[in-house]
Amino acid sequence: MGRQLEPKIIICCDCKQEFVFTVAAQEYFLERGYNEEPKRCKSCHTKYKKLQRSNNHSQVEQEPSEVHIVE
Ligand SMILES: [Zn+2]
């Protein structure tokens, strides 16, 4: 175990609330090769995804994944 991940506190870009980018979520991101940190808390992320889905049907299939922030 060379990795030393720690939970990170991130400010949600939508609601400006702090949320925790958990170690489990970081590992999930790493596994998938995502370099970016999430910008939204879980609830805003869910809302954002729904909005994207209703605004843009054609791209939904190509979305790499639903990124769930695992608590
Ligand atoms: Zn939020």
Q: Which tokens belong to 5?
A: 């991940």
Q: Ligand 1: distance of its center to the CA of 20 in Å?
A: 11
- Per-residue model confidence (pLDDT) at position 59: 52
- Using pLDDT thresholds of 50, 70 and 90, give the confidence band for residue 70: low
Write down the domain spans for the chain: 8-58
Q: Ligand 1: distance of its center to the CA of 68 in Å?
A: 14
Ramachandran region, residue 29 (left: φ > 0; alpha: ψ -120 to 50; beta: rest): alpha
- Per-residue model confidence (pLDDT) at position 7: 96
Q: Ligand 1: distance of its center to the CA of 11 in Å?
A: 8
- Per-residue model confidence (pLDDT) at position 29: 92
Tens digits of per-residue pLDDT, 5-58?
999 999 999 999 999 999 999 999 999 999 889 999 999 999 999 999 998 765
Distance from the Cα of residue 58 to its chain's centroid: 21
